[in-house]
């Protein structure tokens, strides 16, 4: 291939025969690690190993309808060129046999054209050969790699990368060995084409140094309760995932508010154990061995400097501004799995930008845990829409935390006591007011409205929200919040008694329909589906064209760290199944 002259093909023969690694170094930067050329080969893992180019070329073509089916035309072309000591750098012939295209050094192009016009003078005079054409100002770029053989899509990626960069391809050549694809480009486009191909095949990223054809590489944002449980699940289910999907999940980066841990080969069990212990004792990751101070964006960029297979950004934090990070991850080839509602329930423009970014990049954005924890709510919605159904309304009880509180109130327990127990069991958000004010359910309702299409980009209604407590209580220390909750105990007991007298119970209900998103407490019949809910159970009811007379109902546990972590893992495995195809 074209490129570094120190790697002449003949000098490589003894090294290749004896499997001797060859190291190239930069004499102007002796401290740089350089490049190793060796015999390592992993099928299916980054099939293209190099993109190289040669300038100052020209395209020479012999065209004519009288060439088809005539033996010896190619031989005459090469005999004429060989007689003048002209070497060809690329050959391409159409299957119709009506044209042969050659690339050769520009300083030999005129001589070559004269030689061929002389060789085909009789055919040119009879019109059997219509033209010996010459196009100067051409460059050649070669995409090479042992893994290209029998790997589907390499040529498509090469053509797509050039098209996306606005680079036109003049001619193409590929041998039957499939180890090289050579493209002829305008020399003015050569640098742009090389950069596009280099990036398109991930060659701008560092080789992590491990053979990883079956890797599922995770960048995990958030090491709170859900993140810690997800880490445990990944360890416990690793062999199951490998057996079921043929993939090995690895956490390559772990991120908290202080910084991150990074290992492109996958953080070791020891490193993950130290991280879990640190979070249990409230130590930041940046203080651990190998810890780096930095933002989530810095962690993502550091991870994506490496050539990772099937990278997934997993957000189990409650951080603001994650939508910008998601867009960057999608654009750089990451799928995204999130339990963080804020990026999807924030400004509508940000939500639409995320969906568009995923579409442009051919990546997926999964968000099951944002609505129903581990329940298949978003998945069910996608199945309905993907099979041609139209959703007309969605309603239900979307908070396991508030479900637990309402069940406790129904049993006659004070509000303050019910919330304290929910907090102790890990059902609430870090700030319980996010649940009690209805803000968390409101976000879920907005996500459902957007995902289902019930709220369009230009007609999304404002949320009608009634909470159990005032949103201004957010951020209060728990002792002060508990004191304020006790002042509401009598009021909620009175509400409970009035509902019971009418054969009803209180539930916290979300209702989503065209032009309406309503969230708040409501009295429902005791024997209704919502009235029969107990503890942290959630209920989601889909009304659609298909499920019109009898709606589709999804119900089950909707709160708890383990349930939510399982929902996130489920999304990771859905991505794995898609990427394994």
pLDDT digits (tens, 9 = 90+) for 418-430: 999 999 988 888 8
Q: Which of 32-41, 214-223, 367-376 has the lowest mean pLDDT?
A: 32-41
By C-alpha distance, which of 519, 515, 399 is closest to 465?
519
Determine contact, residues 190/141, Cβ cutoff 8 Å: yes
Which residues are within 8 A (CB) of 58 and not within 5 positions of it... i.e. 6 or more apart?
103, 104, 105, 106, 109, 134, 135, 136, 137, 138
* 3-class SS of residue 286: helix
287-to-117, 258, 447 alpha-carbon distances in Å = 74, 9, 36
Structure tokens at 280: 């249990």
**Residues linked to residue 464 through DSSP beta bridges, in sequence order:** 518
What pLDDT sits at residue 154?
A: 87
What pLDDT sits at residue 210?
A: 63
By C-alpha distance, which of 89, 85, 141, 140 is closest to 115?
85
What pLDDT sits at residue 315?
A: 97
What pLDDT sits at residue 178?
A: 75
Q: What's the pLDDT tens digit per position in 499-517?
A: 999 999 999 999 999 989 9
Determine contact, residues 147/178, Cβ cutoff 8 Å: no
Per-residue DSSP letters for 454-493? SS-TT-PPPEEE--SS-GGGTT--HHHHHHHHHTTHHHHH
Cα-to-chain-centroid distance, residue 497: 51
Q: Which residue has the higher pLDDT, 12 or 434?
A: 434
Q: What's the pLDDT tens digit per position in 440-468?
A: 999 999 999 999 999 888 778 899 999 99
How many CB atoms are located within 10 Å of the residue 55 CB? 14
pLDDT band at 498 (very low <50, low <70, confident <90, very high): very high
What pLDDT sits at residue 175?
A: 74
What pLDDT sits at residue 1?
A: 46
Structure tokens at 82: 């060989």
How many CB atoms are located within 10 Å of the residue 544 CB? 18
Determine contact, residues 33/206, Cβ cutoff 8 Å: no
Determine contact, residues 487/447, Cβ cutoff 8 Å: no
Q: How far apart are CA 102 and CA 98, in angstroms?
A: 14
pLDDT band at 68 (very low <50, low <70, confident <90, very high): confident
Instruction: Select, from the ranges 13-27, 163-177, 421-435, 466-480, the one with the highest average predicted confidence (pLDDT).
Output: 466-480
DSSP 56: E
What pLDDT sits at residue 44?
A: 52
How many CB atoms are located within 10 Å of the residue 318 CB? 18
Task: Indicate which residues carry an active-site annotation.
Answer: 444
What pLDDT sits at residue 526?
A: 93
What pLDDT sits at residue 493?
A: 95
What pLDDT sits at residue 209?
A: 61
By C-alpha distance, which of 307, 306, 323 is closest to 315?
323
Domains of the chain: 1-40 (no CATH), 44-200 (3.30.2130.10), 215-373+567-580 (3.40.50.720), 380-559 (3.30.360.10)
pLDDT band at 58 (very low <50, low <70, confident <90, very high): very high
Q: What's the pLDDT tens digit per position in 253-283?
A: 999 999 999 999 899 999 999 999 999 899 9
User: At CB < 8 A and 24+ separation, what contacts does 576-579 make?
Assistant: 576/216, 576/241, 576/245, 576/247, 576/249, 576/310, 577/245, 578/364, 579/216, 579/247, 579/310, 579/335
Checking if the pLDDT of 4 tops 70, the result is no
Look at the pTM and tell me if it is higher than 0.85: no
Checking if the pLDDT of 345 tops 90, the result is yes
What pLDDT sits at residue 31?
A: 85
Q: How far apart are CA 553 and CA 529, in angstroms?
A: 9
Percentage above 70 pLDDT, the chain: 96
Q: Which residue has the higher pLDDT, 426 or 138?
A: 138
What pLDDT sits at residue 450?
A: 94
**Residues linked to residue 524 through DSSP beta bridges, in sequence order:** 505
For residues 202-233, b (16+ Cβ closer than 10 Å) or e, as one string?
bbebebbeeebebbbbbbbbbbebbbbbbbeb
Unique residue bearing structure tokens 């170094």: 25
Checking if the pLDDT of 45 tops 60, the result is no
């Amino acid at each position: 291939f074209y490129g570094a002259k120190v790697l002449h093909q003949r000098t490589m023969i003894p090294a290749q025969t004896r499997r001797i690694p060859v190291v190239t170094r930069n004499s102007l930067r002796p401290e740089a690690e350089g490049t190793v050329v060796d015999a390592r080969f992993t099928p299916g893992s980054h099939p293209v190993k190099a993109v190289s180019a040669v300038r100052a070329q020209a395209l020479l073509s012999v065209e004519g309808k009288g060439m088809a089916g005539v033996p010896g035309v190619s031989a005459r072309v090469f005999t004429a060129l060989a007689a003048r000591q002209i070497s060809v750098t690329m050959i391409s012939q159409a299957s119709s046999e009506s044209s042969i295209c050659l690339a050769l050094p520009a300083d030999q192009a005129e001589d070559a054209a004269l030689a061929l016009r002389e060789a085909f003078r009789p055919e040119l005079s009879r019109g059997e050969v219509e033209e010996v054409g010459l196009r100067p100002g051409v460059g050649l770029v070669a995409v090479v790699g042992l893994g290209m053989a029998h790997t589907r899509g390499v040529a498509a990626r090469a053509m797509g990368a050039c098209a996306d960069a606005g680079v036109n391809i003049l001619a193409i050549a590929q041998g039957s060995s499939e180890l090289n694809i050579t493209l002829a480009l305008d020399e003015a486009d050569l640098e742009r084409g090389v950069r596009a191909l280099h990036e398109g095949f991930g060659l701008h990223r560092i080789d992590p140094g491990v053979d990883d054809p079956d890797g599922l590489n995770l960048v995990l944002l958030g090491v709170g309760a859900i993140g810690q449980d997800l880490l445990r699940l990944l360890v416990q289910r690793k062999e199951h995932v490998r057996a079921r999907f043929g993939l090995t999940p690895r956490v390559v980066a772990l991120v908290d508010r202080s910084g991150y841990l990074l290992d492109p080969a996958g953080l070791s069990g020891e490193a993950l154990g130290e991280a879990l212990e640190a979070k249990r004792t409230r130590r930041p990751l940046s203080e651990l061995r190998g810890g780096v101070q930095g933002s989530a964006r810095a962690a993502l960029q550091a991870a994506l400097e490496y050539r990772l297979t099937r990278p997934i950004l997993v957000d189990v934090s409650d951080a603001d501004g994650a939508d910008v990070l998601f867009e960057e991850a999608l654009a750089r080839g990451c799928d995204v799995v999130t339990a963080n509602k804020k990026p999807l329930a924030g400004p509508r423009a940000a939500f639409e930008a995320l969906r568009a970014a995923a579409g442009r990049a051919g990546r997926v954005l999964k968000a099951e845990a944002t609505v129903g924890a581990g329940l298949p709510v978003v998945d069910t919605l996608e199945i309905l829409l993907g099979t041609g159904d139209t959703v007309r309304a969605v309603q239900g009880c979307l908070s396991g935390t508030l479900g637990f509180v309402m069940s406790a109130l129904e049993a006659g327990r004070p509000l303050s006591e019910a919330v304290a127990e929910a907090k102790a069991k890990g059902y609430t958000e870090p700030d319980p007011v996010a649940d009690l004010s209805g803000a968390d359910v409101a976000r879920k309702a907005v996500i459902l409205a957007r995902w289902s299409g019930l709220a369009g980009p230009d007609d999304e209604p404002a949320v009608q929200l009634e909470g159990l407590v005032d949103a201004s209580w957010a951020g209060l220390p728990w002792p002060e919040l508990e004191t304020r909750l006790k002042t509401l105990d009598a009021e909620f007991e009175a509400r409970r008694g009035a509902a019971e007298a009418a054969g009803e119970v209180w539930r916290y209900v979300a209702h989503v329909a065209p032009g309406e998103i309503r969230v708040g407490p409501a009295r429902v019949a005791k024997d209704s589906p919502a009235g029969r809910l107990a503890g942290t159970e959630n209920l989601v009811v889909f009304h659609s064209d298909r499920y019109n007379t009898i709606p589709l109902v999804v119900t089950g546990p909707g709160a708890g760290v383990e349930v939510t972590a399982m929902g996130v893992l489920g999304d990771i495995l859905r991505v794995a199944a898609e990427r394994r195809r």
